[in-house]
Each structure stands twice: as C-alpha cells, then as structure tokens.
Amino acid sequence: MQAREINNGRLAMLAVTTYVVEESVTRRPIVELTPWLFKPLFLLPRVLQSALDAEFAVSAFRPD
C-alpha cells in the first residue's frame, strides 16, 4: 500500500510539472487552457445527461 501511495504522489508531481511547463510555454494560466478540468463533473452537460438517463430513463418509460 505504501508503494502505491508513493507512485500516486509521483504521478501528481508529474501532473503539476506538466501544468507549470504548459503555463510557461503558452504564457496563459492553466485554468484558461483547460476550463473543463476545473468544473465539477455534474455541471458538464454530457455527464449530467448521461447520469440522469442512466438513473431515471427506466422508471420514466415504465408501462403502468
């Protein structure tokens, strides 16, 4: 378990390094470049629609 946590930490450090490099190359903040990464998933239309379809489509079309 400890090795997994170390690997997760390394992956997170690579992600942050990638953000820093991308911001330094483009001279724009990462929030501008990838705004969808900084919104909750349930606010994205495709995710919300697919979640609602998966949960309620069967009950909505159930014959009486």
Q: What is the pLDDT of residues 26-62, one digit of tens each?
A: 999 999 998 888 888 767 777 777 777 776 766 555 5
Note the pLDDT of residue 16.
94
Query: What angle (nearest 5°) sits at the alpha carbon of residue 16, between those of residues 13 and 18?
Result: 110
Q: How far apart are the first and last CA of the chain?
A: 51
C-alpha distances out from residue 5 to 2, 10, 16, Å: 5, 9, 17
Contact between residue 47 and residue 41 where contact means Cβ atoms under 8 Å apart: yes
The mean pLDDT value for 6-34 works out to 94
- Whether 64 has a pLDDT exceeding 60, the answer reads no
Prediction pTM value:
0.54
Tell me whether residue 19 is exposed, middle or buried, using C-beta atoms within 10 angstroms of its C-beta: 0 to 12, 13 to 18, 19 or more.
Answer: middle
